[in-house]
Amino acid sequence: MTEHQGPDRREHPRVVVTVVRSGGIGGMRRQWRAEPAADDEPRWAALIDSCPWDDVGSDPEGADRYVWRIAADREGVESRAAEVPDSRLDGPWRTLVDAVRSAPGS
C-alpha cells in the first residue's frame, strides 16, 4: 500500500509567478503572486514562454516611472526574471502581468 504523497506530487510542473511594481509618485511598491492549480499550469507555462525574457529593452530616464519586476518559477524548468520598464509593458508582458494581478489570492 502506498502512502498518499500530498499536493506536491503532481504530474504537471508547479508554477509560481510574482510581479512587483515599484516607482510612481511616492515610490509605492505593490506585489502580486499567482500559483495556479495543476489543471491550469499549461496555460500559465504558455504565458511565461511567450514573454521576451532576453529582450526587455530600456525606458527613458524620468521621475515617477513604474518598473515591473517579473519572476516565473516552474518546477523542472529554469527560473526566469526580468525588470520591465512601464513603457515596455505591452503584448505578452501585459498579458502575463494582467493574469497574475487577476489570479485568485493575488
In a structure prediction context, what are the per-residue pLDDT tens digits for the chain, which is 106 residues long? 434 444 444 454 489 999 999 987 777 899 999 999 989 999 999 999 999 999 887 766 666 788 999 999 998 888 999 999 998 999 999 999 999 999 987 7
Given a contact cutoff of 8 angstroms between Cβ atoms, the answer to whether 30 and 24 are in contact is: no
List the chain domain ranges.
16-102
CB atoms within 10 A of CB 67: 15
Q: Is 34 helix (H, G, I), strand (E, B) or coil?
A: strand
pTM: 0.81
For residue range 40-59, what is the model confidence (pLDDT) as tens digits?
Answer: 999 999 999 999 999 887 76
Q: In what order do the strands lie in the sheet with 30-34?
A: 30-34, 15-22, 67-74, 77-85
Distances (CA, A) of 37 to 2, 7, 52: 24, 10, 24
pLDDT score of 58? 72
H or E stretch covering 46: helix 41-49
